C-alpha cells in the first residue's frame, strides 16, 4: 500500500514500458490518508484499517470497469492494518465478485509470520496458484516454487 506513484516507479525500474497502457490504469490510494495527505486519485480509502471500506471500493471498481487484470500491490499490508481473518474473508468476496464480472486478480503478498491457518488458506484455498518471486537484478526476475508454509521466521 504505497503512494500511487510507487507502483509506477517500480514498473519503470523493471524496464517495462507501460506508456501504451497508462491511461487504462486505475489506482486505489490507501496510503495518503495514513499520512493525512490529500489524494489526486478517483478511488481513495479514507480509513485503511477498515476492511469494509476497502471492500466497498474494490467491489465498486470490479462492477464498474470492463473485464481486466486487477493487481493488489500489497495484500499483506491490508492484512496488517485490518487483521488476518477479516482480510481473508474479504478476499473471498473480492475473488467471487471478480469471477462474476470476468476479472483476473493478482495479489502481491509477503508471507510475514502470519498464523499457520492464514498461510494455509492463502496457499490452498484463496488463490489458483501461489508463486514466490524475487528480484535478482534489474530486468531479471527470479521465480521459485512456493513454500510459504515451510518458512522459518526465527
DSSP 3-state of 140: strand
Domain contains 148: no
How far apart are the two ends of the chain, measured CA to CA in Å?
26
Domain contains 128: no
**Is 43:27 a contact under the CB 8 Å cutoff?**
yes
Domain contains 144: no
Domain contains 67: yes
Domain contains 12: yes
Per the structure, the complete domain to which residue 89 belongs is given by 5-111
Q: Which residues of 73-139 form beta strands (DSSP E)?
A: 104-107, 132-137
Q: How far apart are CA 66 and CA 132, in angstroms?
A: 29
Domain contains 150: no
Q: How far apart are CA 31 and CA 24, in angstroms?
A: 21
Q: What is the model's pLDDT at position 88?
A: 98
pLDDT tens string, the chain, 154 residues long: the values are 445 556 667 667 767 777 777 777 788 888 888 888 888 888 899 999 999 999 999 999 999 999 988 888 789 999 999 999 999 999 999 999 999 999 988 888 888 899 999 999 998 999 887 776 665 555 555 545 444 444 333 3
Q: What is the model's pLDDT at position 64?
A: 94
Domain count, the chain: 1
Domain contains 147: no
Which residue bears the cell 487483521?
83
CA atoms within 13 A on the CB side of 111: 21
Domain contains 74: yes
Amino acid at each position: 500500500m504505497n503512494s500511487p506513484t510507487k507502483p509506477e516507479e517500480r514498473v519503470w525500474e523493471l524496464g517495462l514500458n507501460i506508456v501504451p497502457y497508462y491511461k487504462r490504469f486505475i489506482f486505489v490510494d490507501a496510503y495518503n490518508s495514513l499520512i493525512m495527505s490529500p489524494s489526486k486519485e478517483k478511488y481513495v480509502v479514507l480509513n485503511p484499517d477498515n476492511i469494509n471500506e476497502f471492500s466497498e471500493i474494490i467491489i465498486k471498481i470490479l462492477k464498474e470497469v470492463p473485464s481486466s487484470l486487477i493487481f493488489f500491490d500489497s495484500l499483506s499490508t491490508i492484512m496488517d492494518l485490518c487483521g488476518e481473518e477479516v482480510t481473508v474473508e474479504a478476499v473471498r468476496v473480492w475473488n467471487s465478485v471478480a469471477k462474476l464480472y470476468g476479472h483476473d486478480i493478482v495479489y502481491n503478498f509477503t508471507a510475514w509470520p502470519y498464523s499457520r491457518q492464514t498461510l494455509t488458506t492463502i496457499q490452498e484455498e484463496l488463490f489458483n496458484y501461489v508463486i514466490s518471486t524475487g528480484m535478482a537484478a534489474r530486468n531479471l526476475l527470479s521465480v521459485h516454487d512456493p513454500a510459504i508454509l515451510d518458512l522459518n521466521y526465527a
